[in-house]
A and B are shown apart, each in its own frame.
Chain A
Amino acid sequence: MTGGEKRNLIISVLVFLVAALLPLVNNGYWLSIGVSVAMYTVLATSWTLFSGPTNYIALSTAAFFGIGMYIVAAFLDWAPYPVLVLIAGIVGALFAAVIGLATLRIAGVYFVIFTLGLAELVRQIVAWMQHVMGTSSGLYVLISMTDPILYWLLLGLSAIVFLVGWWIGRSRLGFALRIIGNDEVVAEHSGISTARAKVVLFIISSAFASLTGALVAPRWSYVEPTIAFSPFLSFQVVIMALLGGVHRLWGPLLGVIPFTLLWELISANFPAQTTLLLGVAFLLIVYFIPHGVIGLIEDMIRHRHGMLGSVVSTLQRWKSGNA
């Protein structure tokens, strides 16, 4: 381990320890925001594990998140909650393996559309099954889970995501993915099984979404297909990850925090226009900070001309690019 890595590890551990103190400081409003931040950190970071290096934009977060949530909601009477969380992760992984093998050969916009349709497909299947079995469409998840416990669980899960991401980054698999993201033809001719590498990453990424859904289920207490499989979630995760920056492991975190706070503000003040504002936010991010907050920071360090200067230079680049 190099000196720089040691320093990063120490900083990361300290950040997590400080973050873990939040429930002791505030047990109300800020803790609930903390829960959202932790949840989106897991989702956006694990999304980036796959989509960052491969440039495959997956809109399947909601599908896997919903699966995790439904496994907890539907089987709570038969198995203890912690077991269900584990099962959710496993089922998410298996489902991702099937989907990955079937779809990762399609690239570009087709993959995006497929993953978007996937959440809808799973939602319809769940609704249809509930109809056939004669159960009501909504399910109650009645176990007590206090916010501090949920927060710590999600924080722990995000620590695992970061560790997995760190490990992948150092591994042959991580290197293979960077090559794939650059040029798939070169990757194949260098001996990389591109399909296998992508499927493995898709599985890891999706399993985390299912685990998150399972952990969050008790907080929502009432689960329904339209809520659990909301495509909104998939888009939010993508926007947060892009806002932060997808080429560093901790990039998405820099998108999750400002976006969650902004979201709180918007949904509290403009509850009827949230979708509209989400779209506007998406456009602004893609146009003005294509490399994310992390790109701005790195520009700033590189050019030493401050935040304003780097925004200006991004604007100029954007303007000349469209001239």
Chain B
Amino acid sequence: MPSPSSADVALTVTEVFKRFGGLVAVDGMSFALAENEVLGLIGPNGSGKTTMMNLISGALKPSSGRIQLYGDKISGAPANEIAQKGVARTFQIVRMLPSLTVIENVAAGGVFGHQKRWGAELHDHAHGLLRRVGLENVDDVPVTSLTYIDQKRVELARALASDPKVLLLDEWLAGLNPTELKTGIALIERLRAEGRTIIIVEHVMDAIRSLCDRCVVMNSGAKIAEGTPQEVLADSEVIRAYLGDADA
């Protein structure tokens, strides 16, 4: 049921709940992601951000509610179908394919997903992506020999390999030192400049300020604020969620 104004809405999340037994990890979340938008999903630890990402990517199925990609319902579908429809992601803790080479790790994302490539075309595509994320001359190196940030680059290239409609970055900047952080932010800025549609879960406030068009703030599984980074970071309820009550 896409309304006329939703023509350029990439992703809509409507009244989504996720319960683990008695625990409500995601409590009636609703938000939309416009095409070419970079949306920050922020909130204190344990507020349900990663669970929300897992619900979008299909790693988890919502208990109720609906998630749509360009009007097409994806909630409840298995992760591989959602990937084929055009959602790609990185993981909170970097996930490499240890027995594969660097370029094979990237190619893995480009064969079975949204855009499918094979043979020389796949190889050139993966090679190009590696250069784009700043990795040169490591194509045939075992992926385990890379440093942490370089593994993160590989994972990003893998997520990009299927030309996804929506890219989910789950704390992609976590664990980087200050220098690496700058590089990392610059890299995501480039993706943003390319007009990609991205949801970022992040704790690094500098990154959120410089990268996000809009933020959705979660606390205890529910949305407590939404707006530009400046707006939400000035919101009293958001401050309370992060820092606790003034009299606490």
Q: Say whether A and B bind each other.
A: yes
User: 1/0 per position for A88-129, CB-CB distance to B under 8 A?
Assistant: 000000000000000000000000000000000000000000
B109 contacts chain A at the CB level, 8 A cutoff: yes
User: 1/0 per position for A284-315, CB-CB distance to B under 8 A?
Assistant: 00000000000000000000000000000000
Contact of B162 among A183, A187, A191 (CB under 8 A): A191
Task: Provide the bound-state CA to CA distance between A188 and B84, in Å.
Answer: 10
A192 contacts chain B at the CB level, 8 A cutoff: yes
Contact, CB under 8 Å: B113 / A186 = no
B111 contacts chain A at the CB level, 8 A cutoff: yes
Contact, CB under 8 Å: A190 / B111 = yes
Name the distance in Å between B100's Cβ and chain A's nearest Cβ.
6
Residues of A188-245 at the interface with B, using a CB-CB cut-off of 8 Å, are 188-194
Given the interface pairs A190-B113, A190-B162, A191-B83, the reply to whether A182 lies near B97 with Cβ below 8 Å is: yes
Task: Provide the bound-state CA to CA distance between A194 and B80, in Å.
Answer: 8
Contact, CB under 8 Å: A189 / B112 = no
Contact, CB under 8 Å: A172 / B89 = no
Which residue, A181, A190, A247, has most C-beta atoms of chain B within 10 A? A190
A30 contacts chain B at the CB level, 8 A cutoff: no
A248 contacts chain B at the CB level, 8 A cutoff: no
Contact, CB under 8 Å: B57 / A189 = yes
Task: Provide the bound-state CA to CA distance between A188 and B98, in Å.
Answer: 16
A262 contacts chain B at the CB level, 8 A cutoff: no
Given the interface pairs A183-B95, A185-B95, the reply to whether A192 lies near B100 with Cβ below 8 Å is: no
B242 contacts chain A at the CB level, 8 A cutoff: no
Task: Provide the bound-state CA to CA distance between A93 and B151, in Å.
Answer: 40
A179 contacts chain B at the CB level, 8 A cutoff: yes
Main secondary structure of the interface of A (DSSP, over half): helix
Task: Provide the bound-state CA to CA distance between A165 and B109, in Å.
Answer: 23
Contact, CB under 8 Å: A181 / B99 = yes
Contact of B83 among A181, A182, A190 (CB under 8 A): A190
Task: Provide the bound-state CA to CA distance between A190 and B80, in Å.
Answer: 6
Contact, CB under 8 Å: A182 / B112 = no
Contact of B112 among A178, A183, A192, A247 (CB under 8 A): A192
Interface bracket on A: 10 to 19
Given the interface pairs A172-B118, A185-B59, A188-B79, the reply to whether A179 lies near B88 with Cβ below 8 Å is: no
B158 contacts chain A at the CB level, 8 A cutoff: yes
Task: Provide the bound-state CA to CA distance between A172 and B89, in Å.
Answer: 21
How many B residues touch A, CB cutoff 8 Å?
A: 28
Number of interchain pairs (Cβ within 8 Å): 71
Name the distance in Å between B113's Cβ and chain A's nearest Cβ.
4
Contact, CB under 8 Å: B97 / A188 = no
Name the distance in Å between B83's Cβ and chain A's nearest Cβ.
4
B108 contacts chain A at the CB level, 8 A cutoff: yes
Q: Which residues of A contact B78 (CB under 8 A)?
A: 188, 193
B127 contacts chain A at the CB level, 8 A cutoff: no
Contact of B80 among A178, A183, A192 (CB under 8 A): A192
Given the interface pairs A172-B111, A190-B109, A191-B113, the reply to whether A178 lies near B83 with Cβ below 8 Å is: no
Which residue, A178, A185, A191, A192, has most C-beta atoms of chain B within 10 A? A191
Which residue, A176, A182, A185, A187, has most C-beta atoms of chain B within 10 A? A182
Task: Provide the bound-state CA to CA distance between A149 and B83, in Å.
Answer: 51
Contact, CB under 8 Å: B97 / A186 = yes
Q: Which residues of B contact A193 (CB under 8 A)?
A: 78, 80
Q: Which residues of A contact B83 (CB under 8 A)?
A: 188-191
B114 contacts chain A at the CB level, 8 A cutoff: yes
Q: Which residues of B contact A172 (CB under 8 A)?
A: 111-112, 118
Name the distance in Å between B124's Cβ and chain A's nearest Cβ.
16
Task: Provide the bound-state CA to CA distance between A172 and B108, in Å.
Answer: 10
User: 1/0 per position for B142-160, CB-CB distance to A under 8 A?
Assistant: 0000000000000000100
Contact, CB under 8 Å: B118 / A178 = no
Task: Provide the bound-state CA to CA distance between A192 and B111, in Å.
Answer: 9
Chain B minimum-CB-distance residue to A181: B99
Task: Provide the bound-state CA to CA distance between A181 and B114, in Å.
Answer: 22
Chain A minimum-CB-distance residue to B79: A188
Which residue, B59, B107, B108, B158, has most C-beta atoms of chain A within 10 A? B108
Contact of B59 among A178, A183, A189, A194 (CB under 8 A): A189
Given the interface pairs A188-B79, A194-B80, the reply to whether A178 lies near B111 with Cβ below 8 Å is: no
Name the distance in Å between A2's Cβ and chain B's nearest Cβ.
12
Q: Which residues of B contact A186 (CB under 8 A)?
A: 91, 95, 97, 108, 158
Task: Provide the bound-state CA to CA distance between A194 and B108, in Å.
Answer: 13
A167 contacts chain B at the CB level, 8 A cutoff: no
Task: Provide the bound-state CA to CA distance between A243 and B111, in Å.
Answer: 33
Chain A minimum-CB-distance residue to B109: A190
Q: Which residues of B contact A176 (CB under 8 A)?
A: 111-112
Q: Which residues of A contact B58 (CB under 8 A)?
A: 188-189
Across the A-B interface, give the 9 residue pairs with the lowest CB-CB distance, nearest first.
A191-B112, A191-B113, A182-B97, A191-B83, A188-B79, A191-B84, A192-B112, A179-B108, A188-B80
* Partner-A contacts on B (CB < 8 A): 57-59, 78-80, 83-84, 88-89, 91, 95-100, 104, 107-109, 111-114, 118, 158, 162
* Partner-B contacts on A (CB < 8 A): 172, 175-176, 178-179, 181-183, 185-194, 247
Can you add 8 more A-B contacts, CB < 8 Å, to A179-B100, A189-B83? Answer: A176-B111, A178-B104, A179-B108, A183-B95, A186-B95, A188-B59, A188-B83, A189-B59
